[in-house]
Structure 1
Amino acid sequence: MLECRAMALDQTVPTSPARSSRDVVDRALTELHAHRTEWARLPVLEKRALLEQIKDRAARLAPEWVEVATRIKRLPTGSPIAGEEWMSGPWALIAGIVGLSRTLERIARGRDPLEGARLHRAADGRVIVDVFPSSPFEQVLLSGYSASVWMQPGVDEREVRRSAGSFHRHVRDPIGSLALVLGAGNITSIAPLDVLYEMIAEGRVVVLKMSPVNEALGPVLERVMAPLVERGFLRFVYGGADVGEMLTRHRLVEKIHVTGSAATHDAIVFGTGDEGRARKQRREPLTQIPVTSELGGVGPVIVVPGVWSEADMRFQAEHVATQKLHNAGFNCVAAQVLVLHREWPLRERFLAILRDTIAQLPKRAAYYPGADARQRDAVEKHARSELLGGQDVPYTRIVDLDPDDRSAPAYRSEFFGATWAETSISAPDVQSFLARAVTFANERLMGTLGAQILVHPATQRAHRAAIERAITDLRYGTIAVNAWSGVGFLLANASWGAFPGHTLEDIQSGRGVVHNAMLLERTEKTVVRGPFAPFPRSLLLGERHTSPKPPWFVTHRRSDRVGALLTQFEAAPSWRKLPAIFAAALSG
């Protein structure tokens, strides 16, 4: 575990670009509109070549990218926490480009976009596509991890293969269109990854409005994405809600994608204030163009009872702490509600270890606007809470919530910060607990972006059918077994987004998917599976992998070093680079 120590905080936030005027916005959209058909009809290999140029630029500019991001988030100088910015920034973008580039090459050569992927069926008949690992390097670097994309009911294997990459394989002489991407302010790879998905999967040119929270990174991203900017296929704009409204109502914008909150989504679709609420109630959106979104939610961590050792509990406490406090808790897929079995003999011991683990973490700045108000509101609206440290906003634990309380704000509102809640469900056995926990998650908690299940390998072997039933029944876009669902964000071939079916009036965690480098159509969920224990202790539990403590853990002592090495490896893989990565990872 990281020692609790004082570290110097870099309070020098970089300067943001100037607000984009109406003339700048109009000119950007006019230029994009003029190039929309050129981009849509550009040969696949030319698009792939542009992606490869962006990949190389991202690798070259990665140190500057990370340096700006750490200053925006006021991270301590020299802290291993900077590894988060490497892995969720340039590494994630480069990995996404590698996946998309591989798919485009297959399409250009007339090959199956799903070449090498195994297709099989779930117990209920749904088609599953195994998307990770997809190369020997992936198998070695993330040993013990796997990911599968589950298709929606009614989709058969033939349709899966036929529809993959449909824009490039089946659309003839496209006119093209112009999409607005409203970038996220928290994770720095979200905006460029969303841009690339609109451009590659849908064939659209894009105007990207950076979030005011991280718009200081915009000039670096403009240099990373310069091959698309120089050809007139991408434009960046800057500003607050007024610029956003200017863009969302502009006559040349034909599609909107937003990463943010449900309130932001509703303002775009229905407007603000009493009039906006009335429009929403009447189901009369202001905009008639397609709107896709990724909006976060209340993420559960279902802890399956079992015989855990002290080492198991310490490791999983670090795991849960990561799921909550990665990026200081400002993740759409951050865990928010810990769901335990009330009769589990180790419940109180595990919660005590988790509490101590979080209390000993280094202090972090609550850089995202509104965190203090959200934390105070959570404390005021719940009877029992505990403050465990933190810098300007305390790490906050909401204790012993009633699972049957339909009015608990912790179940219905995303805290988006370092606040989480704990509840426990009574059940006579493991199977009953799992069934009740799944019902609780599906019916009590707002949102469907990500859910976690933590289960000891012995328990998993003894109750395999019940575990698989829980995975099948959970209505979440990403379900992670012995992993954080945020890992699914990092895996390029995995689809990322809410569980399908939300309406504009009840948007929950959003509509549509991104990432999805194999360009699958009609996806339902991604299922990520990881190891319960790190190597070599994993061998004692019957797990076959060589993964040490994951470098994205908030307790990893060399996360910054591992993140930098992984980024450079992803851009130019080589077996010779692996020893340094493993050495840094093992020293965490």
Structure 2
Amino acid sequence: MSTNSHVDSPPGADAITVLDPRDGTVVGTLEPSTPEQVEIALSLARTVHPEWAATAPAVRGRHLRSAADALRAAAPELAELNARETGRPVEEALAGVHAGVSALEQYAELGPVHRGRALRGAVLAADYTVAEPRGVAVLLTPWNDPVAVAVGLIAAALVTGNTVVHKPSERCPHLGVRLGEVLSQAFPYGVLITLTGGAEVGALLTRQSGVDVFAHVGSSATGERIARVAALTGTHVLRENGGNDPLVIDADVDPVWAAEQAAVGAFANSGQICTAVERIYVHREISGRFAEALVEQARRRNDTGAFAPLVDTKLREEVHAQVSEAITFGAVRAIGGRIPEGPGAHYPATVLLGCTEVMRVMTEETFGPVAPVTVVESFEEGLARAAAGRYGLAATVLTGSIANAQRAVATLPVGTVKVNAVFGGAPGGSAQPRGISGEGFGYGPELLDEFTRVKVVHISSPSARTR
């Protein structure tokens, strides 16, 4: 457990050992938090919450700015830890740390101006709403963008007056502990606490009483388990979970440009992004040229020798199992799709042609550098196929038609629709995932609403009887 520091224990049977996915060398070993430490952390967070909640929002904002300065100073160290534990290139990891700095600075500004609303009532009365912190927030965060995602949630929770117990992913525990040490020094003791451990610690946290909000970014299966527990306890749940994001490509776009977009969406961070392109529907008129260009994009990435590995061999096995199954069911392996020799958890950029909905690469989240392609006869067919399925995180359409773009916005049942760009968007943007992809706002100003409750106040003029 870490409040302002972390104490290592001798490794035991449940110790977490992390291997560098680039070469298989040992990064280090950490003990998971014990049930007693979990209970102590939650008790401490509850104890210090009233004082932190009573702190003026502007003062809480100053604490966030101090945390931003500390995070900026520790950026090279944290980026290197990220690279060692998850395999993410240092430059990309550094960008994630700086995104965390920006989140702290953004919420330091937004928190103090987070306000209620005036309600129109009687002339001689006042009606308004007040936003109050929920209390103790338990944050369970992922490994694929571990600093940016965690810091965004931490910043929004703290600036609105909640205390935080944070459990980072067991796939990057050293990074999570060090991040907690860096940030917690900017806040009063016990306001931000870091725990270590895997699914068993996360499950223990969700079963504890006295938790007012759960925020989870990770798999849909875990998110659903948290939601079921919270339904019995009444705990507010905020979750961004898995995606199976489609890309629909119209006949009127440049197929080479479309392939570039598809490659960025499917292969960035080796496909380990919640909003990665997971399935592609391309119009038959440009399908041949598109496929050739997409294979070339994959080949360029594979030939550089610098293509980042997956986070570990377990995930690589899961990705390869989906690829192998698709090939068994009739998909054509245009490039990639084979586990390379040597140490580490590397997997090549892979393009599969002729895919159908009987294959898991088209219906489940793959979370690897795989681009499964299906040819459709019309944009409308592509939209219909894209709208099918249990997930509802995001979707992208590439089209030169305003009418088709509008049709996509109106019909795709997802939290975010992107037109003519697989990534991007304005700072502070937010969305509400649907289906098994989650619930609640995960980013932007609306995230402050997730960490607060609204109280309605009605004040009337005193009557003559009160004199």
- For normalisation by structure 2, the TM-score amounts to 0.79
Q: Name the SS of the counterpart of 2:224 in structure 1.
A: helix
Residue 277 of structure 2 aligns with an amino acid whose one-letter code is A
Q: Name the SS of the counterpart of 2:354 in structure 1.
A: strand
Quickly say closer, same or farther: Cα 1:520–1:260, change in 2 above 3 A: closer
Residue 481 of structure 1 aligns with an amino acid whose one-letter code is V
Q: Which residue in 1 is equivalent to 2:398?
A: 454
Quickly say closer, same or farther: Cα 1:521–1:426, change in 2 above 3 A: farther
Q: Which residue in 2 is equivalent to 1:186?
A: 144
User: How far 1:176 sits from its partner (Å)?
Assistant: 4.4
Q: Which residue in 1 is equivalent to 2:109?
A: 102
Runs of 5+ unmatched residues, structure 2: 1-20, 120-127, 341-345, 451-467
User: How far 1:513 sits from its partner (Å)?
Assistant: 1.3
Q: Name the SS of the counterpart of 1:493 in structure 2.
A: coil
Measure the CA separation in 2 of the matches of 1:175 and 1:414.
34
Mapping for residues 258-337 of structure 1, pairs under 5 Å: 258-270=216-228, 287-306=233-252, 308=254, 313-337=255-279
For 1:1-51, what per-residue CA distance to the aligned partner results, in whole angstroms no more than 9, with x for missing partners?
xxxxxxx95654532432111222121111100122222232110111011
Residue 353 of structure 2 aligns with an amino acid whose one-letter code is V
Q: Which residue in 1 is equivalent to 2:310?
A: 366
- Indicate whether 1:62 and 2:62 are aligned: no
> Contact (CA 8 Å) 2:78, 2:175: kept in 1 or not?
yes
Q: Name the SS of the counterpart of 2:165 in structure 1.
A: strand
Residue 199 of structure 1 aligns with an amino acid whose one-letter code is L
Q: Which residue in 2 is equivalent to 1:83?
A: 91
Which structure is richer in relative contact order (CA contacts within 8 A, separation 6 or more)? 1
Runs of 5+ unmatched residues, structure 1: 1-7, 76-80, 113-157, 160-168, 272-283, 428-432, 503-507, 523-588
Q: Which residue in 2 is equivalent to 1:348?
A: 288
- Indicate whether 1:439 and 2:388 are aligned: no
Quickly say closer, same or farther: Cα 1:197–1:103, change in 2 above 3 A: closer
User: How far 1:445 sits from its partner (Å)?
Assistant: 3.2
Match of 2:365 among 414, 424, 444: 414
Q: Name the SS of the counterpart of 1:33 in structure 2.
A: helix
User: How far 1:360 sits from its partner (Å)?
Assistant: 2.2
Q: Name the SS of the counterpart of 2:169 in structure 1.
A: coil
Quickly say closer, same or farther: Cα 1:492–1:236, change in 2 above 3 A: farther
Measure the CA separation in 2 of the matches of 1:332 and 1:49.
32
Q: Name the SS of the counterpart of 1:424 in structure 2.
A: strand
Match of 2:406 among 438, 448, 468: 468
Measure the CA separation in 2 of the matches of 1:222 and 1:307.
46
> Contact (CA 8 Å) 1:12, 1:74: kept in 2 or not?
no
Measure the CA separation in 2 of the matches of 1:187 and 1:394.
20
Structure of higher CA gyration radius: 2
Q: Name the SS of the counterpart of 2:74 in structure 1.
A: helix
Measure the CA separation in 1 of the matches of 2:417 and 2:266.
16
Measure the CA separation in 1 of the matches of 2:98 and 2:145.
12
Q: Which residue in 2 is equivalent to 1:40?
A: 53
For 1:156-179, what per-residue CA distance to the aligned partner results, in whole angstroms no more than 9, with x for missing partners?
xx99xxxxxxxxx9327x474112
- Indicate whether 1:509 and 2:447 are aligned: no
> Contact (CA 8 Å) 1:103, 1:518: kept in 2 or not?
no
Measure the CA separation in 2 of the matches of 1:399 and 1:337.
11
- Indicate whether 1:252 and 2:210 are aligned: yes
Measure the CA separation in 2 of the matches of 1:178 and 1:104.
17
Match of 1:424 among 369, 372, 375: 375
Percentage of identical aligned residues: 24
Q: Name the SS of the counterpart of 2:138 in structure 1.
A: strand
Q: Which residue in 1 is equivalent to 2:177?
A: 219
> Contact (CA 8 Å) 1:298, 1:413: kept in 2 or not?
yes
Quickly say closer, same or farther: Cα 1:307–1:104, change in 2 above 3 A: closer
Measure the CA separation in 2 of the matches of 1:204 and 1:102.
17
Measure the CA separation in 1 of the matches of 2:200 and 2:253.
55
- For normalisation by structure 1, the TM-score amounts to 0.64
Quickly say closer, same or farther: Cα 1:518–1:247, change in 2 above 3 A: closer
Quickly say closer, same or farther: Cα 1:518–1:357, change in 2 above 3 A: same
Q: Name the SS of the counterpart of 2:392 in structure 1.
A: coil
